[in-house]
Structure 1
């Protein structure tokens, strides 16, 4: 359909009434406050990648801690291992946040907990705000149950942005319909029967949850035990207790049972030989249901 003014329907912010645009002014009013984490909230209609944009601003020194960049559409959204992330405009939440844990005396060796912290924050927020149980697949996938099937509905990507900053990107499918799924195993809040699909309260809930967890984690100087992050992540991690295949750097493969997440945020895999090997980076495949 072409609007009477001749403009492209894709550029009309009201072209899909089931997917209204985000109101940046209202989001700023509810999230940005003195003494809080969030320093700015910007919503752009379209970009390549919010992570790429925010990393560039951080490196250039033009973004403060607590900057939030949201895109209604991403053309070059990325996940781990440089996988592409695509979705129709305004069908999900696609945003990045800038944090500087070093300014809060969190040692660099504990920054690897940030993707796991983000997963806990998102899962906690969606449970209360949308009425859906969100499971976490180590290290950065968000899983929802569609029918009786576990499906990926979101992902997290953390990237260093200079010496003292980290940009954490979050992609979450909200109103994606079955015929719009990029791959058969994908899911969305709509397909999982979420009670709320309005993106503004969902985004506010996620950001407030992230702020609570991040502030507590920083107050504990990144200690995952004192901040209760390690135990909370383990309680919501769908990977633990399952047989998994870990595709490791150097084309190495490790198969066994995922038995724990250690103090460094690594997945501990018990092999058939009885060894326990911590995995800090790799692609994890669930081999059997929990």
Structure 2
């Protein structure tokens, strides 16, 4: 076998075996369930882009997983990459037609809750959410980002919906991290890094939270989404800086997440400012 053949061999890294698509389908696709299809591809540009392009023709609950992404996108159109089979890179198509559109803004936060609770159950690591939906883990004594979520409207008003993309670092080693502030489940001491049970748990958790939210007509209080999100949000209670569109920034204490999913900052001027979009920076406490 030539070196190039070894690089292309899906079993070339024995610590990172491929996902078992057949087994995932057997356990996740069921009559009356949310998930309608599940496909695993070796590599693609972006699972979000692929699902979005077919949003009108696909039924709700389509799942697309890639072993590797060559043009993955995060929030604010940031680009990122990771070694093949080192994480979970997937997108799901949701069509909550019966939920008022003004409540769809909760879906990225809902996905964050689902990922955090699903991983904690199987991987046995403490997880937290940085508003709106970055997944944080603790590596040593540092808080690091191990995953992110991107939600995008897709398709026509009549047949489309929301595509939610999830990227999670599972077995990334320290020398593979894209930036020093990144982390992975393995670096956080996860007891399970087998991607099959991790993906099953996350998708089951996502089905649970989405179904509860949809059955409550998207009400974040009735579905308990708002209180669960607040309980797991590492941003609340901290002094933060919000970097907003238009090169504007505001600093203050993050005191609440309101009924629209916005982060409420209490500023030094005594104003409570809602933040609906932007980057949040966790600030260290000031030295006395």
Question: Does the TM-score normalized on the shorter chain lie above 0.5?
Answer: yes
In the TM superposition, residue 7 of structure 1 has moved relative to its aligned partner by 5.2
Matched, 1:21 2:18: yes
Measured in 1, the distance between the counterparts of 2:32 and 2:237 equals 41
For the residue of structure 2 that corresponds to 1:88, the secondary structure is coil
Among 226, 229, 232, the residue aligned to 1:233: 229
Which residue of structure 2 aligns with residue 137 of structure 1? 130
In the TM superposition, residue 8 of structure 1 has moved relative to its aligned partner by 2.7
Which residue of structure 2 aligns with residue 153 of structure 1? 146
Measured in 2, the distance between the counterparts of 1:101 and 1:154 equals 24
Which residue of structure 2 aligns with residue 243 of structure 1? 239
Measured in 2, the distance between the counterparts of 1:8 and 1:140 equals 39
Q: Deviations over 1:172-214 (max 9, x none)?
A: 0000000000111100000000000000000000000000000
In the TM superposition, residue 9 of structure 1 has moved relative to its aligned partner by 2.3
Long gaps (5+) in structure 1: none
Q: Identify which range, 87-96 or 76-85, moves more after superposition.
A: 76-85
1:30-179 correspondence to structure 2 within 5 Å: 30-58=27-55, 61-102=56-97, 105-162=98-155, 163=157, 164-179=160-175
Measured in 1, the distance between the counterparts of 2:9 and 2:66 equals 15
For the residue of structure 1 that corresponds to 2:54, the secondary structure is helix
For the residue of structure 2 that corresponds to 1:101, the secondary structure is coil
After superposition, the CA RMSD in angstroms is 1.2
Q: Deviations over 1:221-262 (max 9, x none)?
A: 000000000000000000000111101111111000000000
In the TM superposition, residue 11 of structure 1 has moved relative to its aligned partner by 1.9
Measured in 1, the distance between the counterparts of 2:48 and 2:6 equals 27
TM-score (norm. length: structure 1): 0.96
In the TM superposition, residue 288 of structure 1 has moved relative to its aligned partner by 2.0
For the residue of structure 1 that corresponds to 2:181, the secondary structure is coil
For the residue of structure 2 that corresponds to 1:246, the secondary structure is strand
Measured in 1, the distance between the counterparts of 2:147 and 2:80 equals 9
Measured in 1, the distance between the counterparts of 2:72 and 2:6 equals 22
Measured in 1, the distance between the counterparts of 2:57 and 2:83 equals 30
Q: Deviations over 1:131-160 (max 9, x none)?
A: 011100001200000000000000000000
In the TM superposition, residue 79 of structure 1 has moved relative to its aligned partner by 0.5
Size of the aligned set, in residue pairs, is 283
Measured in 2, the distance between the counterparts of 1:287 and 1:250 equals 21
TM-score (norm. length: structure 2): 0.96
In the TM superposition, residue 10 of structure 1 has moved relative to its aligned partner by 2.7
Measured in 1, the distance between the counterparts of 2:277 and 2:141 equals 29
Which residue of structure 1 aligns with residue 219 of structure 2? 223
Measured in 2, the distance between the counterparts of 1:264 and 1:7 equals 51
In the TM superposition, residue 62 of structure 1 has moved relative to its aligned partner by 2.7
Long gaps (5+) in structure 2: none
